Amino acid sequence: MQLITKLIKDKPILLGVKYESEYRAIQKYKDFGFDFEKSFHAEIEIITHTNLNLTLVCDNGDKFVYRDLEFNGRKLKMFFDYVKQNTPFTFVHFYTHLDNELVAQDRYSREKYVRVTGYTIKQAH
C-alpha cells in the first residue's frame, strides 16, 4: 500500500492510503468502523526513506494502524510544509482507476471522511 497526498487549489487537503481496488478501499473503511464525527491525530513513524507506519488516533483513544506504507519523501515534505502543525486535513482511502487516484466512497462512506486536526512525525529507532 502507498501513502498519497493531494494538494489541489480550492479542494480539501487530502492524505490517504491507496489500495489496489475500490472494493478493498471501501472494505477497510467498514473494517475499521471509523467514527466520522470524531477528530483524529496522525502519528507518522518513518521506518526507511521509502516506508512508514501511520497510526490514526481518535479523540476517544481508538487507534487505526497502517503498516509499512510506501511514500514519496518529497511529496510528503511538501504536504506537511503546506499543512503546518495544526491545520486540519482529511484522511481518505484511494484506489486507482484508469491511471487516476480516486477517493473510495460507497453508501457507507459517502461524504464521510476522517478529519485529522494534528500530527506528529518521528523516526523509527
pLDDT value for 54: 97
Q: What is the pLDDT of residues 11-46, one digit of tens each?
A: 889 999 999 999 998 888 777 777 778 889 999 999
- Angle, CA of 71, 8 and 22, to the nearest 5°: 60
Domain boundary assignment for the chain? 2-123
Q: What is the pLDDT of residues 81-109, one digit of tens each?
A: 888 766 889 999 999 988 888 888 766 55
Q: Give the global pTM.
A: 0.87
Q: Give the pLDDT confidence of 50-82 residue by residue, as tens digits.
A: 999 999 999 889 999 999 999 999 999 999 888
pLDDT score for 34: 73
The residue count of the chain comes to 125
Number of Cα atoms under 13 Å in the Cβ half of residue 37: 1
